[in-house]
């Protein structure tokens, strides 16, 4: 299933994209796509519906973040071999964890606001993992059963804040609008192998990133198991699993984002995003 949220910011309604690409309203079935409705039982009930019996949305609405009321936004750093190579970093022996502020979350096509004075804002297309049931010290073999689905994430990063201002990476990762998610939450039955997905990102029509989740140093199952050792993962939590090579930071000179530029990105089977960069005044 392709589940989504649509409507004005803060007033999103739940929806489903059927096999023909028609948006169907789910408001009569669930109040929203949130931790309370991402349980296996609720998803099974939604799978049993006949999409043609649901109301069609005939206008082209704004798409909101594909999950609401996210509790934790956990990210993995340097998790693609070619990305570690381009930054000159050694491959990590264990996953690098950091947190992204949930206030960074926006819809997949909302404007990205570059912070005042920012000169080193960067893009990062990533596979997002959405937790569907409690994961606490789970085994790698059992980890995938705790996932509700997957989505596209743009893990935007202000590199000066991240790398030159001391402390952890979080201050360069959590800026408002630096976490577009969606357009859809694609349930696990439609993603048989999360390590078999292509990723890409363009800036102003120029291909900057082309990658494959098979290049991950740590697989999705390893990541979920590992993170669950240090914190319980709750339904609705998102893990962003790292980015492939092709970020501005790895180029000479780095073509960091500027107001007016457009990012277009996607993952096989998970949909596409498009954001215009604006100055946050």
The mean pLDDT value of the chain amounts to 96
d(CA 145, CA 138): 10
Distance of alpha carbon 233 from alpha carbon 105, whole angstroms: 18
pTM: 0.96
Element (H, E) at 265: strand 262-267
Query: At 226, phi and psi to the nearest 5?
Result: -65, -50
Residue 38's closest CA among 12, 75, 64, 71?
Answer: 71
Residues 33-89: tens digit of each pLDDT: 999 999 999 999 999 999 999 999 999 999 999 999 999 999 999 999 888 888 788
Tokens linked to 215:
């290049």
Q: Does the N-terminal peptide bond of residue 119 adopt cis geometry, omega within 30 degrees of 0?
A: no
73-279, which class in CATH? alpha beta
Domain limits, the chain: 2-53, 73-279
The pLDDT assigned to 210 comes to 97
> Stretch 258-264: mean pLDDT, rounded?
98
Burial of 139 (0-12, 13-18, 19+ CB in 10 A): exposed
Alpha helices in the chain, H assignment, sequence order: 40-47, 81-87, 140-143, 159-163, 170-173, 220-230
Average pLDDT value for residue range 190-217:
97
What are residue 46's DSSP bridge partners? none
**Is residue 197 scored above 90 in pLDDT?**
yes
Query: Per residue in 2-35, pLDDT tens?
Result: 999 999 999 999 999 999 999 999 999 999 999 9
pLDDT at residue number 39: 94
């Amino acid at each position: 299933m392709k589940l989504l949220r649509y409507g004005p910011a803060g007033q999103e309604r739940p929806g489903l994209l059927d096999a023909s690409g028609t948006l169907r309203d789910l408001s009569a079935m669930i109040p929203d796509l949130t931790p309370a409705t991402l349980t296996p039982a609720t998803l099974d009930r939604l799978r049993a519906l006949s999409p043609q019996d649901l109301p069609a949305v005939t206008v082209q609405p704004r798409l909101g973040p594909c999950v609401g009321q996210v509790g934790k936004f956990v990210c993995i750093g340097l998790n693609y071999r070619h990305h570690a190579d381009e930054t000159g970093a050694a491959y990590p022996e264990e996953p690098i964890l950091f947190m992204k502020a949930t206030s960074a979350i926006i819809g997949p096509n909302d404007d990205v606001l570059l912070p005042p004075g920012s000169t080193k804002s960067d893009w990062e297309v990533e596979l997002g993992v959405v937790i569907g049931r409690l994961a606490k010290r789970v085994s790698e073999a059992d980890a995938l059963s705790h996932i509700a689905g997957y989505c596209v994430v743009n893990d935007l990063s202000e590199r000066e804040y991240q790398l030159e201002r001391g402390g952890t990476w979080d201050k360069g990762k959590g800026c408002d609008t630096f976490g577009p998610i969606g357009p859809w939450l694609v349930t696990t039955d439609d993603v048989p192998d999360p390590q078999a997905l292509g990723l890409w990102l363009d800036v102003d029509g120029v291909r900057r990133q082309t990658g494959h989740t098979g290049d991950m140093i740590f697989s999705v199952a390893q990541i979920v198991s590992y993170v669950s050792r240090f914190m319980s993962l709750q339904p609705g939590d998102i893990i962003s699993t790292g980015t492939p090579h092709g970020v501005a930071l790895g180029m000479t000179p780095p073509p960091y984002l500027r107001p007016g530029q457009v990012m277009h990105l996607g993952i096989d089977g998970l949909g596409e995003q498009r954001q215009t960069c604006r100055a946050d005044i």
